[in-house]
Amino acid sequence: MPTNVIEITDVSKRFVIRKEKSLKERLVNFGRSNLHKDDFWALRDIDLSITSGSTVGLIGPNGSGKSTLLKTIGGILQPTSGSVQLRGRLAALLELGAGFHPDLTGRENVYLNASILGISREQTDKYFDAIVDFSGIEPFIDTQVKFYSSGMYVRLAFSVAVHVDPDILLVDEVLAVGDEPFQRKCMERIKGFQHEGRTIVLVTHSLDQVAEICDRAIVLEHGRVTADGAPQEALRVLRADFEATRQVEIEKAQSREEGAKATPRARISGVQLLHGETLAPVDSIEPRDSLVVRVDVEPHAELADWMLGLAIDTPLGVTVFGTNTQLLGSAPPALTHGTSFDFRLPDLSLGEGRYSIRLALEGLDGQEIHRLPEAAHVEVHGDGRSQGSLAVAASFAPA
């Protein structure tokens, strides 16, 4: 049975934001300083347990507390209240250049960084060639790191972190700095760690990366955990929150342009999924069935120069099909009243699984009018002979 290697108990972290802009203002306001500072709670009442061998993605919007939580786990920040307990050796890639001294060479920083991670000089000697080889910056290893590019920083830091035999690896977004071949190499090493049963906690804005490598995802918003579970469910919650925020921003922008409390030009008022042959309502189909997506568009004023888009997404948000009226060469007419339109999708070769239908109404100038990220859902029932989003009548026989 897996044991808990990270125990986070009732952790909160407060930062004090001071309004004084200079030392002089701070001295003048010293006696009444509480009037000139605000408390910002980056984390509130976090309770989490992470088991050995799991790969956990921390996701959420900017400012949600992901990096603060990772630094608290790594011991860089101490919580205002609560506790964090770890079991095993920890290696952390928390920010660009952390643990490096700019005036030392890459070689000297390898030994410095390894010592910070608890590795002796003799052990580092043993790992040194492998570290440099993995980083791919051997020609610059005796150059001061202040002359390194951001990619070279990350290459060397990641290489040290993964060669010091950590039980727990913390990674905060820094891999996005490396080029594609290095990112691929990092992903291979991370998957190797997973196979070896090591624990990885990853902060990233790449939701596809979370879907690919994590077996658990935790959504943070305003310093609190709002979802914790399978990546599929956590990503659905996060994308729904992103979409709600986006709709609020669109409505605000339209209000500014058209006056306070303005209504959108139009909206998608209804969606039906129909069988392609019988036009009977359906919520499930077989692979290679035909599907009709009937969309009701309701204008609030005359709607001209518009287009309608449709996409089919997997539960992890990966688009397997997308089109719009412009791509289809079918310009919709100007509307003055509610009208229904059909997207006909013949011979839909979807693999077994649950898919969501995404719809978007836009002006031809690219301005979004209305969007439904999960307008409808359809279940595809396969025969169990294949996996993935594509249905293929595959067979196997001697050549």
Domain holding 332: CATH number?
2.70.50.60
Least confident of 4-13, 52-61, 115-124: 115-124
CA angle (47 as vertex; 41, 50 as ends), nearest 5: 125
Looking at the fold, whether 281 and 187 belong to one and the same domain comes out as: no
Q: Is residue 254 part of a domain?
A: no
Looking at the fold, whether 223 and 269 belong to one and the same domain comes out as: no
With a cut of 60, say whether residue 134 has pLDDT above it: yes
The number of residues making up the chain comes to: 399
The percent of residues in the chain predicted with pLDDT above 90, rounded, is 46
**Average pLDDT value for residue range 103-130:** 88
Q: Is residue 18 part of a domain?
A: yes
DSSP conformation class of 53: T
Helix (H, G, I), strand (E, B) or coil at 327: coil
> For 18-67, how does the pLDDT look when each residue is reduced to its tens digit (9 = 90+)?
665 666 666 666 656 556 567 889 999 999 999 999 999 999 988 899 99
User: In a 10 Å sphere around its CB, with 0-12 CB exposed, 13-18 middle and 19+ buried, how is residue 366 labelled?
Assistant: exposed
Least confident of 123-127, 149-153, 262-266: 262-266
Looking at the fold, whether 185 and 285 belong to one and the same domain comes out as: no
Task: Check residue 253 and give its pLDDT.
Answer: 66
Q: Is residue 195 part of a domain?
A: yes
Domain count, the chain: 2
Instruction: Pick the more confident residue, 360 or 95.
Output: 360
Strand partners, 49: 7
Looking at the fold, whether 274 and 232 belong to one and the same domain comes out as: no
> For 271-285, how does the pLDDT look when each residue is reduced to its tens digit (9 = 90+)?
999 999 999 999 999
Looking at the fold, whether 18 and 144 belong to one and the same domain comes out as: yes
Expressed as residue numbers, the domain containing 100 is 4-237
CA atoms within 13 A on the CB side of 73: 35
Looking at the fold, whether 218 and 296 belong to one and the same domain comes out as: no
Looking at the fold, whether 8 and 126 belong to one and the same domain comes out as: yes
Task: Check residue 289 and give its pLDDT.
Answer: 93
Looking at the fold, whether 201 and 341 belong to one and the same domain comes out as: no
Tell me the whole-structure pTM to 2 decimals: 0.71
Which CATH number does the domain housing residue 166 bear? Answer: 3.40.50.300
Q: Among candidates 272, 288, 290, 232, which has minimal Cα distance to 377?
A: 272
Q: Among candidates 197, 182, 230, 210, which has minimal Cα distance to 318?
A: 210
Instruction: Pick the more confident residue, 231 or 30.
Output: 231
With a cut of 60, say whether residue 140 has pLDDT above it: yes
**Average pLDDT value for residue range 304-312:** 94
Residue 158: pLDDT band with limits 50, 70, 90: confident
Instruction: Pick the more confident residue, 64 or 2.
Output: 64
Looking at the fold, whether 142 and 279 belong to one and the same domain comes out as: no
Query: Distances in Å between the alpha carbon of 114 and those of 73, 90, 123, 124, 344?
Result: 19, 11, 9, 7, 60
Can you list the positions of beta strands (E) in the chain? 4-18, 37-51, 55-59, 81-86, 90-93, 168-172, 199-203, 216-221, 224-229, 266-275, 284-285, 289-299, 306-313, 319-324, 339-348, 353-363, 368-380
